[in-house]
Amino acid sequence: MAASAVCRAANAGSRVLLRTRRSSSVLSSPFQQPALLKSPALRGIATFAQALQSVPETQVSLLDNGLRVASEQSSHATCTVGVWIDVGSRYETEKNNGAGYFVEHLAFKGTKNRPGNALEKEVESMGAHLNAYSTREHTAYYIKALSKDLPKAVELLADIVQNCSLEDSQIEKGRDVILRELQEYDTSMRDVVFDYLHATAFQGTPLAQAVEGPSGNVRKLSRADLTEYLSQHYKAPRMVLAAAGGVDHRQLVDLAQKHFGSVSGTYTEDAVPTLSPCRFTGSQICHRDDALPLAHVAIAVEGPGWTNPDNVALQVANAIIGHYDCTYSGGVHLSSPLASVAVANKLCQSFQTFSICYAETGLLGAHFVCDGMSIDDMMFFLQGQWMRLCTSATESEVLRGKNTLRNALVSHLDGTTPVCEDIGRSLLTYGRRIPLTEWESRIAEVDAQAVREVCSKYFYDQCPAVAALGPIEQLPDYNRIRSGMFWLRF
């Protein structure tokens, strides 16, 4: 579960939060209450509860064509506004894989109304920042600008989304840029190993496809392919216009109606794209290259989709295992047991747990970077930590994991851009923006028993997907890795 929503405190969630503290047997005593209220710990809890309720409201409106408009108003002098579209490489075929990434790049090459460098100059004259990105399920275009420039920012976004320049000269330039980017991308070992992981875990399904697409497709995609992609997927019901910062929601709705009201919301005949289920396959893909200095290994089981309630307990479990980098201070005294073992035995340069969610499935696992002669040991201790959580997770470490998750939930929403992104992504994945108080109540419900049960469900005796790159001669055989996903106890 991503920490993906911050709304005004829901009354029900607030009452639950406050009622839980008032119902404490200690606080119920009128004689002990004043002394306890002086406790720094309780003052911190009260402050956190108040902070949950002080988050601005997220307002949502719906245009006649199905486009959703959502905003969170704050006192910032700047704002971020963007369009989030429910489309990514998962909606592509083998033939046009990479079309979405290609279209995203052409957005910076100008539009029919702003050819060439005119778009770039207009953005620079505002002192604004224009950006875009594509994932396997979503595409986003957003602008960060001064609040007074909101009307111009919305106009620019509408022009980019609806009037993308598909001139042959721009397509050829974009083709060369993407091919160079693919060469640079191959030097990022972490990105490559995660593409490998998707390719083996979701083999034979659209989720196995890389967002950028293969270089062969980049060379072959034509103007007709890109036009068809835009007409099929850039529809109003699959768009969210999100904004955060110094914005007025009524003004944003009026601007959306003016500039996005003409976006089509209908499909011809049976052209409505649907998501086909993507199966998970326990398997392994290895790319041995002894010339590389370090091995990159990712191992994952099938995780839950965005809306699955198991996500919260699994995020707590991930927080317990934590993350590590050799630059961290603390040494063997790090709170993560795996990090402490890694330091004591010099097992790895770094490791990071992850939970990647999609509509109905996901990847739940860990990625580590280590010396070629430490792979076996690192894999052994990592799987041992998973099995320990399945059988003997303790209340103290669960409390630590919950507090870590609470911190991540709040701290990543710092600034208008992450808040705006959170709004757009939440409406596409959850259909609403979940209040922070609701996330807090879900986290509070997690205990050691819940962690043991959910880890047993997803990790214990499950077939993992493994991707490895670099000097991986010591990587254990898949059957041995599989046998590490359970414990034989007598």
The residues carrying an active-site annotation are 104
Can you read off the two tokens belonging to residue 348? 């790895």
In sequence order, what E strands does 222-361 have?
239-245, 284-288, 295-303, 323-325, 350-357
Please say whether the beta carbons of 374 and 475 come within 8 A.
no
Q: Do residues 320 and 397 touch, judged by C-beta distance below 8 A?
A: yes
* Residue 104 to residue 303: CA distance in whole angstroms: 29
Q: Which tokens in the block code for residue 33? A: 């209450």
User: For residue 258, which amino acid is it?
Assistant: K
Residue 176, Cβ density class (10 Å: 0-12 exposed, 13-18 middle, ≥19 buried): exposed
- Alpha-carbon Rg for the chain, nearest whole angstrom, is 24
For residues 171 and 169, what is the distance between their CA atoms, to the nearest angstrom? 5
Contact by Cβ (8 Å): 380, 25 = no
If you search the block for the tokens 């086909």, which residue do you land on?
A: 276
- Judge whether 237 and 265 are in contact, CB under 8 Å: yes
* 385 within 8 A of 458, measured Cβ to Cβ: no
Q: Which residues pair with 451 in a beta bridge?
A: none
With H, G, I as helix, E, B as strand and everything else as coil, classify residue 451: helix
Task: For residues 359 and 312, give the distance between their C-alpha atoms in angstroms, rounded to a whole number.
Answer: 16
Tokens representing residue 203 in the block? 């083999």
Token code pair at residue 410: 């709040």
Cα(197)–Cα(93) distance, rounded to whole angstroms? 19
Q: Are 252 and 123 in contact (CB under 8 A)?
A: no
Alpha helices (H) along 412-463: 416-429, 436-444, 448-458
Phi, psi at 45, each rounded to 5°: -65, -45
Read off the tokens for 383.
């799987």
